[in-house]
A and B are shown apart, each in its own frame.
Chain A
Amino acid sequence: MMEGILSGLSTAVSPINILMVSVGCFVGTFIGMLPGLGPISAIALMIPITYGFDPATGLILMAGVYYGAIFGGSTSSILINAPGVAGTVATAFDGYPMAREGKAGKALAIAAYSSFSGGTIAAILLLIAAPSLAVVSRAFQSTDYFALMVLGLTAVAAFAGKGNIIKALLMTVVGLMLSTVGTDKGVGVQRFTFGAIDLADGISFLLLAMATFALSEALMGVLRPKSDADRLREMEAQKNLGSMKVSRDEVKELAPVVGRSSVLGFFVGVLPGAGATIASFLAYGIEQRLAGPKKGAEFGKGSIRGLSAPETANNAACSGSFVPLLTLGIPGSGTTAIMLGALLSYGIQPGPRLFEENPEVFWSVIISMYIGNVILLVLNLPLIPYIARILAVPSTVLLPMIVFFSLIGVYFVSFNTFDIHLMVLFAVAAIALRLLDFPMAPMLLGFILGGMMEENLRRALSIHDESWSFLWERGLTLSILILAALILFVPMIVPRITAMLARRRETAGEGG
């Protein structure tokens, strides 16, 4: 393991990779700041550029973009109350009131220090957890992998459904359906290609990600334009950020908050589907309760604890979400799903074998996450007043640029103009689905996992003499499937049971 860490360290600290993680953090911060554009869009926009690099460098760039985008989202949350990503919504609760009080500089500094601390603690936890899980997962067979993918999909659907799990499940199924387009890898027959040679290789994941995230978000911005005037007024109000100094007493007050939120964020991030958003809200809620009545009442009005907790947790969750991706090859979130797609296109299959066969990729990604956190602190924080100027670019210019970068990003990979037209089609469909309140992340995850699921199921059936009995005969497979069923059905059943019990209690009360 030590050898792998050293190899990863030497890869991560090579000048080109340091440059890449810096560029990634910088570009990610820019993109993450733009309202509506989150880490998925940011990474998708960078993928075509990474194709020219070796896998470790490409992944390092993407990891930098990921962290940068989260940090950028926090910045626009604090400065103009416009979270770029869902994971930084909780940051705005106290960050924006602080900015309104003229403490924007302090709020940004606390957000950066909290992110850094959360990222550092999570990177250490990742260093311990990932290899152990990779060793355990070596015992996994194709049946278990199939079950794990079912678990990942149901968990993402359960968390992304925002109360309507059926819609999220439907989107997962749509993603799986789209993954069946093209030549069936098992027997070589064409499926759903309608005789079009352009579809014989299937739909590119990059095309789908760009069309359903970056492009459709830009088109939504055209459909429902937000006034640039409000944004500019807020920017003008925050022109003087104030001091970025954090006092010793404040550090003392925040230390336990950071410690708790880091551990919580990391473990929430490890869970498939949960991710940065849930981690940040959970940390905010817990810290509000732990703060006591006096300090708790300050939450929502500019509390430094209320700012630090979600910021720490969302960064820690980002690191945590890499655990299932790197060790099992199963992404736990939309962002890691897109990174999995990028890895697969490099010909690298994440999972326990990545740990053994490409230790430099495995470790350099983990180490570069830490470097990314350092860069965010030392480079991005002092530059924030300048980076934030992107918020002043009018949307009439910004939106066409996003559209252009989305289209050209996909076109430069295939040089096939059919892809541009297919993207428009998918973007229009995505807009219709967004208006109908269907979540997009489960679709992308279903699409990326679809091929692998089918392959593992085919292999499992061939190992078990074409009998489906492996689903209930192998203990580990069955346990994972039961867990998936619990994740899916418990949130549906528990509220009904609670309501039923409450009704009974009421009737009993009336009777007695």
Chain B
Amino acid sequence: MLTRDRIGALLMLAFSIFYWLQISDIKLLAFQADAAFTGRTIPEILAVMGVVLSVALLLRPGSDAKLEVTGFHWRRAALLCVLMIAYGLTVRPAGFLLSTSLFLICSILVLGERRVWVILVASIPLVVLFWALMTQVLGVYIAALPEFMDLSR
């Protein structure tokens, strides 16, 4: 029976085997040919441990509980992840103030908030305050404006 523990075990087994296969890419220097300890030693031990423990979990799962994923808001969580990736792509070219404000506005909207004043108060003033705190008080330089408007470049 494909229980929650067994699904976990299979995923861990796949990860451990993938990790094991990558070990051969670690270069060994000439003087390490007969060394007891090289850059591969610990990864090899870990890969073996990963495989052994995954097989142990597969054969002797702790419980018969099934994976419960019904009733989850998958779409919202996926959209939030997409927004995070987009934020990573835009934070430099669009500048901190614009990209962060947009990220917060879109995230709050994705989570179902529709009151405009709540969305605006929780995004723009917070971003400006945070930027001011970081740059003026803590002395961290953050490009506030989009690249094409930043005169210091």
Contact = CB atoms under 8 A, between A and B. Distances in A.
Q: Report whether over half of chain A's contact residues are helix, strand or loop; otherwise say mixed.
A: helix
B69 interface: yes
Contacts of A219: 77, 80-81
B62 A167 contact: yes
Interface string A155-170: 0000000011011011
Contacts of A432: 11
B11 A404 contact: no
A379 B67 CA distance: 45
B80 A170 contact: no
A52 B92 contact: no
Contact of B42 (A404, A428, A454): A454
A411 B87 CA distance: 11
A222 interface: yes
Interface residues of B, number: 70
A412 interface: yes
Contact of A417 (B26, B54, B65, B89): B89
Given A461-B36, A461-B37, A173 B81 contact: no
Nearest to A169: B53
A472 interface: no
Report which residue of A52, A177, A421, A458 has the largest number of chain B beta carbons within 10 angstroms of its beta carbon: A177
Contacts of A501: none
Contacts of B84: 403, 407, 420, 423-424
A494 interface: no
A166 B16 CA distance: 15
Report which residue of B53, B68, B74 has the largest number of chain A beta carbons within 10 angstroms of its beta carbon: B53
B81 A49 contact: no
A164 B81 CA distance: 30
A223 B32 contact: no
B42 A457 contact: yes
A236 interface: no
Contact of B7 (A169, A190, A436, A468): A436
B8 A411 contact: no
Contacts, number: 173
B140 to A, nearest CB: 6
Report which residue of A408, A461, A468 has the largest number of chain B beta carbons within 10 angstroms of its beta carbon: A408
Contacts of A399: 107, 111
Interface string A173-186: 11011001000101
A435 B19 CA distance: 23
Contacts of B19: 177, 192
A187 interface: yes
A214 to B, nearest CB: 13
Contact of A404 (B26, B65, B103): B103
A225 interface: yes
A437 interface: yes
B8 A167 contact: yes
B113 A396 contact: yes
Nearest to B71: A224
Given A166-B62, A189-B39, 16 more contacts: A166-B57, A169-B49, A187-B32, A189-B28, A190-B26, A191-B26, A191-B39, A394-B118, A396-B113, A400-B104, A404-B100, A407-B84, A408-B100, A412-B142, A420-B84, A435-B67
Interface of B: 4-5, 7-8, 11-12, 15-16, 19, 22, 25-29, 32, 35-39, 42-43, 46-47, 49-50, 53-54, 56-57, 60, 62-63, 65, 67-69, 71-74, 76-77, 80-81, 84-85, 87-89, 91-92, 100, 103-104, 107-108, 111-113, 118, 122, 126, 130, 134, 138-140, 142
10 contacts: A166-B56, A166-B60, A167-B57, A189-B28, A189-B29, A223-B74, A396-B108, A396-B113, A417-B91, A436-B67
Ranked nearest first, the 3 interchain pairs of A and B with the lowest CB-CB distance are A420-B88, A400-B107, A164-B62
